[in-house]
């Protein structure tokens, strides 16, 4: 981070030192491969932070905040209906596609990219379904972590 007026000098120094600039596609691939949620993709009003594996980013002792009851209920139950999962696919898959287990919808792909390690994705998958055979548009996907 630097002052806006120092941007060009800092950029030239970093590139001159051998640092290779990455474009948005490379950043997105690395983000997805590492299971990092992104605002507008995995972090929307459709999902709660606990489902996005953000347990360490939630205060369980802070006073009143919007959604506190839901967070407390999920914490006390110790079980979430769905969780953000890192997926590896046999071929590229599209954002918004359904994740299926034995023909039944068990999740949704929220981010997808293709890079040096092949096709990767993030998606919310119903808890327990990650152990079965999963497909996205007839492409086999494997859960590789949260």
Domains of the chain and any CATH numbers: 22-145 (3.30.1360.120)
Tell which residue, 75, 54, 53, has the closest CA to residue 125. Answer: 53
pLDDT of residue 66: 77
Length of the chain in residues, anyone? 146
Cβ proximity of 49 and 75 under 8 Å: no
For 98-129, the pLDDT digits (tens) are 999 999 999 999 999 999 989 999 999 999 99
Q: How confident is the model at residue 62 (pLDDT cuts 50, 70, 90)?
A: confident
Cβ proximity of 60 and 72 under 8 Å: yes
For 86-100, the pLDDT digits (tens) are 999 999 999 999 999
CA 75 to CA 44: how far, in whole Å?
20
CA 80 to CA 3: how far, in whole Å?
43
CA 74 to CA 57: how far, in whole Å?
15
């Amino acid at each position: 981070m630097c002052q806006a007026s120092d941007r060009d000098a800092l950029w030239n120094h970093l590139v001159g030192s051998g640092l290779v600039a990455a474009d948005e596609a490379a950043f997105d691939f690395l983000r997805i491969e590492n299971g990092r949620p992104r605002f507008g993709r995995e972090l929307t009003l459709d999902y709660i932070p606990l489902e996005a594996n953000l347990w360490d980013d939630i205060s369980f002792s802070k006073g009143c905040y919007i959604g506190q009851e839901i967070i407390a209920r999920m914490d006390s139950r110790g079980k979430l209906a769905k969780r953000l999962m890192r997926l590896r696919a046999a071929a590229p898959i599209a954002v918004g596609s359904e994740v299926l287990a034995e023909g039944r919808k068990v999740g949704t792909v929220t981010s997808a990219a293709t890079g040096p390690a092949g096709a990767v994705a993030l998606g919310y998958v119903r808890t327990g379904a990650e152990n079965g055979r999963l497909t996205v548009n007839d492409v086999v996907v494997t859960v590789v972590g949260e």
